[in-house]
Amino acid sequence: MLPPSADSLNVLARIRRWFGLRQDELADYLNTSSELVRSVETGRRGLSQAVGMAMLPLARALPEPIELLDAPPATPLPPDAPAPDAKELDFHRRECLARAARLRAQAGKLAQQAHYAHRWRQALPALLPPPDAPDAEQAGWLTRWLHRRAKLLSAQDVTRWHLLLARARAYETQAAALAGQ
pLDDT in the model for residue 13: 87
The per-residue pLDDT string of the chain (181 residues; one tens digit each, 9 = 90 and over) reads 444 444 444 788 888 888 888 999 999 888 899 999 998 888 888 888 888 888 888 888 887 764 444 445 677 888 999 999 999 999 999 999 999 999 999 999 999 999 999 999 899 888 888 888 788 788 888 889 899 889 999 999 999 999 999 999 999 999 999 998 7
Angle at 133 between CA 128 and CA 136, to 5 degrees: 95
Taking Cα atoms as reference points, which of 167, 177, 175 lies closest to residue 104?
167
3-state secondary structure of 43: coil
pLDDT in the model for residue 102: 97
**Dihedral (C-alpha) 8, 12, 14, 19: value to the nearest 10 degrees?**
150
- What are the structural domain ranges in the chain? 6-70, 86-179
- Asked whether 157 and 110 are in contact (CB, 8 A), the reply is yes
CATH superfamily of 6-70: lambda repressor-like DNA-binding domains (1.10.260.40)
Q: What is the pTM of this model?
A: 0.55
pLDDT in the model for residue 147: 92
